[in-house]
Every structure is written in structure tokens, then in C-alpha cells.
Amino acid sequence: MDQRIADCLERLCRKGCLSVRADIQLLEQGKALPETEGMDQQEVQLVLKELKSIMAAYGDTCRV
């Protein structure tokens, strides 16, 4: 995985489970996030795919 993608994922995940779920929804709607600024569409789609994969481990809930 590209270091730029990995760094973006780390920044997004640091925000917490609920924020990541909200960010996924925004990315699915085609909206940009500050963390994805400067990325092309292919990179953003890769970030989205990886976020979904990471969040699949949590199921439908987020632990507090």
C-alpha cells in the first residue's frame, strides 16, 4: 500500500469509530475530506475501500 494512503487511513482512524463511519458515508456521496485533500479519485476510492474493510471488523456497532 502506498505510504500516502496508509498515512491518510491512520489519520482518519485516529478520529474514532463513529467519525470513520460518518467519513465513509461522505466519501460514498463523493464528498471530499480534509484528510483526502490532494488525492486523485483512484486514491480516494482506495481509502474508502480500506476504511470499509477496517470497519467490517467492528460489525454494526462501535465500542466506546
CB atoms under 10 Å from CB of 12, counted, come to 22
CA atoms within 13 A on the CB side of 19: 10
pLDDT(64) > 80:
no
Q: Give me the mean pLDDT over the 36-57 stretch.
A: 95
The pLDDT value recorded for residue 54 is 92
Residue 13's contacts (CB-CB under 8 Å, 6 or more residues apart) are 20, 51, 54
The model's pLDDT over 6-39, given as tens digits with 9 standing for 90+, comes to 999 999 999 999 999 999 999 999 999 999 999 9
Q: Which residue has the higher pLDDT, 59 or 34?
A: 34
Residue 35 Cα to chain centre, angstroms: 9
